[in-house]
Amino acid sequence: MGSVRETGPPSRAKRGPLGIWERIKRSHERRRGQHIPPLDSLEKAIDKRVAAGESERSATLAVIEDFERSAATVNARTTPLVPASGIVVTGAGILAKDGGPEAVVSFVAMLFAFVGLAFLAASLFTHAGRPSVGIEPTRADIPFVHERLTKKEAQAQKGSFFSFVGFVILLIVIL
């Protein structure tokens, strides 16, 4: 039994830097294999499962548990980046303390690493599961979980990007 991917109407291609960023993001999602489906397709999938004879409770629970597993995956992917950002901050701080022409660039690397660290920490501490633990989830909980997982994933991607840029700048300063 295979899964069917539902698609909406084709989107208009954006131009300029936003279009380039969107293409990079889509390519990254395809390579990574994680795509958070829109709420409409989740509702349709639950309706199909209910029509096939599954109870609404178990269909809703399956969707929410899948989101909770995805949130745990985001945590596992981004947790190692937190100490890496700290290392970039430390290295840039040591170079900036010495002074000289590379001090300004070291401060820029430190700034990027701090911004990345802030996004990564926010991602790690964003709850993307059931709104109320111990209470059976309902369909009304799905938008909450969807929004929180989307927010968690976006923060993790931003944090990864800024930390990487800080690391590259630090490498340029060192070399």
Domain tally, the chain: 1
Task: Give CA–CA dist 60/135, Å, rounded.
Answer: 13
Structural domain containing residue 90: 37-174
Q: What tens digit of pLDDT does each residue of 129-167 get?
A: 777 777 788 888 888 888 888 888 888 888 888 988 988
- Letter for the amino acid at 150? T
pLDDT at residue 2, rounded to an integer: 44
Question: Long-range CB contacts (< 8 A, 24+ apart) of 16-21?
Answer: none
What phi and psi, each to the nearest 5 degrees, are found at residue 77? -75, -35
Orientation angle between helical segments 56-78 and 142-174, nearest 10 degrees? 10
Q: 140 lies in a domain? A: yes
pLDDT score of 1 more than 50: no
Count Cβ neighbours within 10 Å for each residue of 6-16 and write b for 16 or more, e otherwise: eeeeeeeeeee
Q: 126 lies in a domain? A: yes
> Closest Cα partner for 34 from 119, 150, 122?
150
pLDDT at residue 127, rounded to an integer: 83
Q: 19 lies in a domain? A: no
pLDDT score of 5 more than 60: no
pLDDT at residue 33, rounded to an integer: 52
Q: 10 lies in a domain? A: no
Q: What tens digit of pLDDT does each residue of 10-51 get?
A: 555 566 666 776 776 666 565 555 677 788 888 888 888 888
Task: Give CA–CA dist 166/60, Å, rounded.
Answer: 41
Q: Which of 80-84, 119-123, 159-163 has the lowest mean pLDDT?
A: 80-84
Question: How many whole angstroms from its chain centre is CA 6?
Answer: 22
Q: 49 lies in a domain? A: yes
Rounded (10°) CA dihedral 160, 165, 171, 172: 170
Q: 30 lies in a domain? A: no
Q: 134 lies in a domain? A: yes
Q: 2 lies in a domain? A: no
Which residues, other chains included, contact 107 with Cβ-Cβ below 8 Å and sequence gap of 6+?
Answer: 92, 96
Task: State the DSSP string of 22-38.
Answer: HHHHHHHHHHHT-----
pLDDT at residue 4, rounded to an integer: 47
